[in-house]
């Protein structure tokens, strides 16, 4: 089963609105990351939050992590058409040897003008 599962699967909003995506995972983690993918291209790293952190900001991005609920959220404020992409959470499982990230299936975000 997927370690990280994003919710919703798809999200459509108007430019200027905020977009919130959620990620749930199953096992204890060292860190959780969010990546963006534009239309079948390579994934681009957005932000990394460690298990002992609760919130992190980067520009218009805000990530929260609740390890007791095994969940994270990504908030994109004041969205732009250029934010249209798929967003993936990825986890580095504790005790997993640090050999890989486990990715969810992603949220497709569409920002309309």
Partner 1 sequence: EAQVTQNPRYLITVTGKKLTVTCSQNMNHEYMSWYRQDPGLGLRQIYYSMNVEVTDKGDVPEGYKVSRKEKRNFPLILESPSPNQTSLYFCASSFGRGGEKLFFGSGTQLSVL
Q: Which residues of this chain interact with partner 1, rule CB under 8 A?
A: 2, 4, 30-31, 33, 35, 40-45, 48, 88, 90, 92-93, 96, 98-101, 103-106
State which residue, 37 or 77, has the beta carbon closest to partner 1: 37
Instruction: State the nearest-atom distance from the C-beta of 17 to partner 1, in Å.
Output: 26
State which residue, 14 or 39, has the beta carbon closest to partner 1: 39
Rounded to whole angstroms, the Cα distance separating 96 from 43 reads 22
Residue 82 exposure: Cα atoms within 13 Å on the Cβ side: 2
The SS3 assignment for 95 reads coil
Contact 22, 30 (CB under 8 A): no
Instruction: State the nearest-atom distance from the C-beta of 92 to partner 1, in Å.
Output: 3
Instruction: State the nearest-atom distance from the C-beta of 46 to partner 1, in Å.
Output: 10
Rounded to whole angstroms, the Cα distance separating 78 from 61 reads 10
Q: Is 60 exposed, middle or buried (0-12, 13-18, 19+ CB in 10 A)?
A: middle
Instruction: State the nearest-atom distance from the C-beta of 57 to partner 1, in Å.
Output: 17
State which residue, 14 or 41, has the beta carbon closest to partner 1: 41
């Amino acid at each position: 089963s997927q370690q990280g599962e994003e919710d919703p699967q798809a999200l459509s909003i108007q430019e200027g609105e905020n977009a919130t995506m959620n990620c749930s995972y199953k096992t204890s983690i060292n860190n959780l990351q969010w990546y963006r993918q534009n239309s079948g291209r390579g994934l681009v790293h957005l932000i990394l939050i460690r298990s002992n952190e609760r919130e992190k900001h980067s520009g218009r991005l805000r990530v929260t992590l609740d390890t007791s609920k095994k969940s994270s959220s990504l908030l994109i404020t004041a969205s732009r058409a250029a934010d249209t992409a798929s967003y993936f959470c990825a986890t580095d499982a504790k005790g997993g040897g640090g050999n890989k990230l486990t990715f969810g299936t992603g949220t497709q975000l569409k920002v309309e003008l």
